[in-house]
Amino acid sequence: MVITEELDQVSTVGDSIVTIGVFDGVHLGHRHLLHKLIENARKSGNSAGVVTFKNHPATIVNPDFRPNFLTSIEERIQLLQSSGVDFIAAVTFDEYVASLSAADFIKLLQEGIGMKGLVVGPDFCMGRNRKADVSSLRSLGQEMGFSLQVVSVQESNGISVRSTTLRELLAQGDVNTVSLMLGRPFSFSGKIVAGFRRGRELGFPTANIKTKDGMVIPKNGIYSTIAYLGDRKLMSATSIGTRPTFDDGKRVVETYVLDFDEDIYGQSLRLEFIEHIRDEITYDTVKELVDQIRQDVDVARVSLKPLIDRMGQ
């Protein structure tokens, strides 16, 4: 496996069949395309490579664009690596790259990584202002001497598996469907920071999670989650929202780890989202809130214990 920062650093891959894209989430649709890429490369005796972008291209084209990533670049590279490709080139999408025509960018690929073929989805576009679609690339392939394979979009229960679809589903709190489309539980990581300690006062000490900027966060509400702390897998109930009962206003992510009482400030925590328990609610009294939290924890325990038992912890 060769992982590089830029195209000009790839030097040992030989001729290659490549795919290009952000691959945010590395969902089942992406994995289907990657399978076809590897299959094509093996049949033709070439290396299978992924050209991805460390930043979202839209941030260069539109400076006001604010990405909502499903996965960080580090997570994306790990997931792409696990697919079995031979190399990954993580490219900085800057104004120079944005200015290149499709032909110019492909020439860079041919000269830099020996690109002999391109594998893409049916809606793929590339080049300055995304002018080159699949039809244009097919003609360009005949001119420049590369093959083009177009892979159909995957569906899950009649819904196209796309990164935009996953973001829309997360905005609805539908973590179950998102996990099905990802082929794994939806998750994100963050650092545990100090909060108002209200949870401890209520009898449910929570860990406040500071997530990376630009990451998508599910709809406000309560979720059953598995918390990964080092090599430990722990049952947890996670709240996302503005804590309306206390009229805080700021959106926060806080998780209550069941049967756990350790000082973990400053540590990293990854949350896997298993089930949406309920939406965020404003309560008239603190007692009503505490009673509801107890119910939420009971629901989380019931849904999570079989999973934790199967995982061996």
HSE toward the beta carbon, residue 28, CA cutoff 13 A: 20
What is the pLDDT averaged over residues 129-152? 96
Q: In sequence order, what are the residues at sequence separation of 6 or more whose Cβ sits closer than 8 angstroms to the Cβ of residue 312?
A: none
The model's confidence at residue 25, banded by pLDDT at 50, 70 and 90, is: very high
- 140 and 19 inside one domain: yes
Quick: pLDDT tens for 152-176. Answer: 999 888 889 999 999 999 999 999 9
Query: Is the separation of the CB atoms in 228 and 269 below 8 Å?
Result: yes
What is the pLDDT averaged over residues 129-134? 92
Any domain includes 180 = no
Is the pLDDT score of 4 beyond 70? no
Is the pLDDT score of 313 beyond 60? no
- 299 and 200 inside one domain: yes
- 133 and 267 inside one domain: no
Any domain includes 161 = no
- 31 and 87 inside one domain: yes
User: Cα separation of 75 and 79, whole Å?
Assistant: 6
User: Cα separation of 230 and 53, whole Å?
Assistant: 29
What is the pLDDT averaged over residues 288-311? 89
Tokens 């990164």 appear where?
163
User: Which of 272 and 14 is assigned the larger pLDDT?
Assistant: 272
- 20 and 150 inside one domain: yes
Rg (CA), the chain: 22
Enter the tokens of residue 45.
């005796």
Number of domains in the chain: 2
- 206 and 284 inside one domain: yes
- 203 and 282 inside one domain: yes
Query: Is the separation of the CB atoms in 170 and 218 below 8 Å?
Result: yes
Is the pLDDT score of 267 beyond 90? yes
Any domain includes 169 = no
Range(s) of the domain holding residue 203: 185-310
Amino acid sitting at position 207: A
Any domain includes 107 = yes
User: Which of 202 and 211 is assigned the larger pLDDT?
Assistant: 211
User: Cα separation of 129 and 194, whole Å?
Assistant: 44
Among 250, 225, 193, 227, which residue's Cα sits nearest to residue 304?
Answer: 225
Q: In sequence order, what are the residues at sequence separation of 6 or more whose Cβ sits closer than 8 angstroms to the Cβ of residue 148?
A: 117, 118, 119, 120, 134, 137, 138, 141
**Burial status of residue 71 (CB atoms within 10 A of its CB: 0-12, 13-18, 19 or more):** buried
Backbone angles phi, psi at 298, to 5 degrees: -65, -45
Query: Is the separation of the CB atoms in 209 and 191 below 8 Å?
Result: yes
- 100 and 206 inside one domain: no
The model's confidence at residue 307, banded by pLDDT at 50, 70 and 90, is: confident
Sign of the torsion formed by the C-alpha atoms of 6, 8, 11 and 16: positive
- 63 and 132 inside one domain: yes
Is the pLDDT score of 246 beyond 70? no
- 112 and 210 inside one domain: no
What is the pLDDT averaged over residues 201-221? 88
User: Cα separation of 147 and 141, whole Å?
Assistant: 6
Residue-level length of the chain? 313
- Give Cα 1 to chain centroid, integer Å: 21
User: Which of 82 and 242 is assigned the larger pLDDT?
Assistant: 82
The model's confidence at residue 22, banded by pLDDT at 50, 70 and 90, is: very high
**What's residue 284's pLDDT?**
80
User: Cα separation of 158 and 273, whole Å?
Assistant: 23
What is the pLDDT averaged over residues 201-227? 90
Can you give the CATH number for the domain in which 97 is found?
3.40.50.620
Any domain includes 168 = no
Any domain includes 131 = yes
- 116 and 194 inside one domain: no
The model's confidence at residue 59, banded by pLDDT at 50, 70 and 90, is: confident
Q: What is the largest CA-CA distance in the chain?
A: 72
Q: In sequence order, what are the residues at sequence separation of 6 or more whose Cβ sits closer than 8 angstroms to the Cβ of residue 185?
A: 175, 179, 226, 272, 273, 274
Strand order in the sheet with 115-120: 2-4, 87-91, 47-53, 16-20, 115-120, 147-150
Any domain includes 173 = no
Q: By percentage, how much of the chain surpasses pLDDT 70?
A: 90
Is the pLDDT score of 244 beyond 90? no
Any domain includes 220 = yes
- 130 and 190 inside one domain: no
HSE toward the beta carbon, residue 207, CA cutoff 13 A: 30
The mean predicted confidence, pLDDT, of the chain is: 90
Query: Is the separation of the CB atoms in 313 and 232 below 8 Å?
Result: yes
Backbone angles phi, psi at 210, to 5 degrees: -95, 110
